[in-house]
A and B are shown apart, each in its own frame.
Chain A
Amino acid sequence: MNARVSSMTARLAANDDAPVVRVDIPVSGMTCAACQARVQRTLVRQPGVRDAAVNLMTRTASVTYDPTEASPQVFVDAIRTTGYGADLPLDLSILEEQEAADRAYAEEYRALATKAGVTLVAGLVAMIVSMPLMAPAGHEGMPATSDPFMRWVSGSLAPVVKRALPWLYSADPHALSFALLGMTVAIMVWSGRAFYARAWAAFRHHAADMNTLIAVGTGAAFLFSFAATVAPSFFVARGVAADTYYEAVIFIIALVLVGNALETRAKRQTAASLRGLANLQPKTARIERTGGEVDVPVEDVRQGDLVSVRPGERLPVDGEIVAGSSAVDESMLTGESRPVVRSGGDRVIGGTINTTGAFRYRATTLGADSVLARIVRLMREAQGTRAPVQRLADRVSAVFVPIVISLAIATFAIWYVAADTAPAVRAFAAAVAVLVIACPCAMGLAVPTAVMVATGKGAELGLLIKGGEALQRAGSLDTVVLDKTGTVTEGRPAVTDVVSYDPHRTDVELLELAAAVERRSEHPLAAAIVTSAGDRGSTLGAAESFQSYPGRGVTGLVGGISVAAGNPRLMAEWAVDTSAASADVQRLAAESKTIVLVATDGRLAGLVAIADPIKAGSRDAVSALRRMGLDIVLLTGDSEAVAKSVARAVGIDRVVAGVLPEGKVAEVRRLQEQLRVVAMVGDGVNDAPALAQADLGIAIGSGTDVAIEASDVTLVRGDLRGVAQAVGLSRRTMRTMKQNLFWAFVYNVVGIPIAAGLLYPIAGILLSPILASAAMALSSVSVLSNSLRLRRYDPRAV
């Protein structure tokens, strides 16, 4: 929906008929909301670009542009100048694209994990090597370190190291310093290069992001250490210890890399549901060609090909069964746990599993149009959309970095002025710690990870949720408006009662006669009678001399018997005495059933009652929604009597009956004017305007319907219980997002003052840059883990 909106805005912005084209460019190296915002800003500034949306989770930039003014290559180059990676999009199907994205994640994780591992080891080595260089407590007038971590290191590790590696302590301190310098430069170039490149690119564009903080922090620490190594006498002459921070530089880079690697792995996990869907499609299909069955790659299947499926096989493409029948396990697409029986004429979906029988079917939708590909595409779009609550995080991130840099400078100045001993060293360590601890990664991850996990979990349950905004609205609903036909009820009239008044004719025989005349009618009630007779094994053919009387019924000759089936008006016209049926007619009408009277050779033979049966899960769904504190309204175009009887059966108090589609919109609007947050649940066709008017449109669809594209949430299984599950999942997700944002904010609000040394005058605690970087990595990981908890959401709990 977002893509459609953006291309629409694009056309409006162009303000003429210039054609616009959309291209999705894969982008690598983005780690947080600030990165995403920067790539997006860069793209929007390119000439000819009408709109650009960058998706952090799927790592794509969707650019809508005028092809006469720009080209994808220009965008790729522009992204690369900002320090991120970009490639021209490959011509792949959505499923292959998902697999490619997945491989890219895996590769990135491997690369990051290797770099993080090597850098961590280097950090440990650097720490051990620098121990002999650390000023011992009280040595040369230097105070003992105030950093609890460094205090622990020098207190408990140094004696151990001294005993294990005595030669280290007898080595020339200058040689050790230079060795550390070499090692640090190597690590900065090999594993830290990306941070510096991106920070520089951002700086040139007057922008700052988390890379800026890391680059400035480690860069300053490195320069200070470098000066202390090459010109220690300069420091000593001014009463400042020539301390080096090489191990801190290496550890900061290592811990940020560990954080990034864990993030990549978690993002890969949150995309697991998409990967599962993409992997559903088999690679080959067995199709009939002249001369027998052949196995062909699934891409070579053409529309209209006959595909055969054996027990236990996965269906390669969508289609319609032509011969045979079987129970098909559709759970991976619909969440419905039991296999569904599919036979001649039924639609089957590619990716589902044939359980017991064998059948042949005709391929219908293929490739990008297939149900599976559409669901994967929809999910990819949805997972990257931004929840409105995200705007808060974005606004904060944008002004955050320059403020943190200012705070770090202020920290330096205050420490320099206030500290009695070694002011420059202490001021410096505090300023670097502030820069490092303030990295806003956790804030950037708070909302998108929750959206991604929740939409993935939804898809597993057969709920297609269109992104963050839909989730947020579903979480704040207070009123649910249910359409009756097709939503609460099956939407297909079915025969409920058959009564024969002729002692020589059974109910089934009566139904067969009625079906024989109705077979040629196109009325929905006729279809119900014919289907019911077929289900009971009727083999009678169609009637002769068929005649239809619109609004009254049908007549015809069946095996020499003249049969009339219709309402009392038709019976009156045919002078049939219906008094024998009047008690039954009254009783059934009270149950809101439609009655078809059947007469043979001018005499009343019996009646058939038809109603739209209530769906199995409707009652449970309504009570679940009520337990969640939601008001429920039944809205229908049907008569009040029918609506009330359905409402009674499922437990709804408020009924609005006899409304046209426009009336449904007005009813939804009326509720919204009472400041209610309204969800409309409908089957997506005649309810479309009301679905659009509602705060949240929920379409009941088979998953094959275009309705998927018109609503905010689609219940693939068509079961009303999905509404309660969607609301439950959304409420959980909103809670998770708020927790994430809260902790990310609190972490910065608490972490920065501690890093700046606020606790030092009170408790004597000062944070080393190393501890600050560990805390920063931990905050990102905790936000991610909190989002991943959503995967355990249990719909039975609602």
Chain B
Amino acid sequence: MRADDIVVVITAAVAIAWVNWYFFVAADRRADERASEQHDSATRG
């Protein structure tokens, strides 16, 4: 394996991890925050 192969593979692994984090984990967290904000404003209102 060439050195640039290793760089590409590691970059790809990081990119895949980031895509899945961004669209699944972070998206869920954001949805939860929104829901609790809405809940707060509803209970305050």
Contacts and interface: CB of A to CB of B under 8 A. Distances in A.
B23 A409 contact: no
B27 A412 contact: no
Contacts of B16: 406, 409-410
Contact of B20 (A69, A406, A412): A406
A206 B1 contact: no
Given A413-B12, A416-B5, A206 B23 contact: yes
B28 to A, nearest CB: 9
B8 A417 contact: yes
Interface string A401-414: 11001100110110
A47 interface: yes
Interface in B3-21: 5, 8-9, 11-13, 15-16, 19-20
Nearest to A399: B24
Given A402-B20, A409-B15, 19 more contacts: A45-B38, A47-B38, A47-B41, A69-B45, A206-B23, A206-B30, A207-B23, A402-B19, A405-B19, A406-B16, A406-B20, A409-B19, A410-B12, A412-B8, A412-B12, A413-B9, A413-B11, A413-B13, A417-B8
A250 interface: no
Nearest to A407: B16
Contact of B24 (A47, A402, A417): A402
Closest 6 CB pairs of A and B: A206-B27, A413-B12, A402-B23, A406-B16, A417-B5, A416-B8
Contact of A208 (B8, B11, B23, B26): B23
Interface string A204-220: 00111000000000000
Contacts of A69: 45
A47 B34 CA distance: 10
Nearest to B35: A45
Contacts of B11: 413
Contacts of B12: 409-410, 412-413
Contacts of A206: 22-23, 26-27, 30
Contacts of A412: 8, 12
Contacts, number: 43
A416 B7 CA distance: 11
Nearest to B13: A413
Interface in A379-411: 399, 401-402, 405-406, 409-410
Contact of A406 (B1, B19, B34, B38): B19
Contacts of A399: 24
B40 to A, nearest CB: 10
A736 to B, nearest CB: 32
A45 B34 contact: yes
Nearest to A238: B4
Nearest to B30: A206
7 contacts: A45-B38, A206-B27, A206-B30, A405-B19, A406-B20, A409-B16, A416-B5
Contact of B23 (A47, A401, A416): A401
A416 B15 CA distance: 15
Interface in A540-595: none
A69 B22 CA distance: 31
Contacts of B26: 206
B22 to A, nearest CB: 6
A590 B40 CA distance: 73
B42 to A, nearest CB: 8
Contacts of A402: 19-20, 22-24
Nearest to B27: A206
A232 B23 CA distance: 35
Nearest to A404: B19
Contacts of B38: 45, 47
Name which of B9, B23, B30, B38 has the most chain A CB atoms within 10 A of its CB.
Answer: B23
Interface in A47-65: 47
Contacts of B30: 206
Nearest to B12: A413
A412 B20 CA distance: 17
A402 B8 CA distance: 20
Contact of A207 (B27, B41, B45): B27
Contacts of A45: 34, 38
B31 to A, nearest CB: 8
A409 B41 CA distance: 41
A416 B2 CA distance: 11
B1 to A, nearest CB: 7
Contacts of A413: 8-9, 11-13
Contacts of A406: 16, 19-20
Interface in A12-64: 45, 47
B33 to A, nearest CB: 10
B10 to A, nearest CB: 9
Contacts of B13: 413
A416 B1 CA distance: 11
A213 B12 CA distance: 17
Contacts of B22: 206, 402
A431 to B, nearest CB: 10
Nearest to B11: A413
A410 B12 CA distance: 6
Contacts of B34: 45
A417 B20 contact: no
A207 B22 CA distance: 9
Nearest to B1: A417
Contacts of B1: 417
A331 B22 CA distance: 56
A111 to B, nearest CB: 31
Contacts of A401: 23
Nearest to A207: B27
B9 to A, nearest CB: 5
Contacts of B45: 69
A277 to B, nearest CB: 40
Name which of B11, B13, B16 has the most chain A CB atoms within 10 A of its CB.
Answer: B16
Interface string A621-664: 00000000000000000000000000000000000000000000
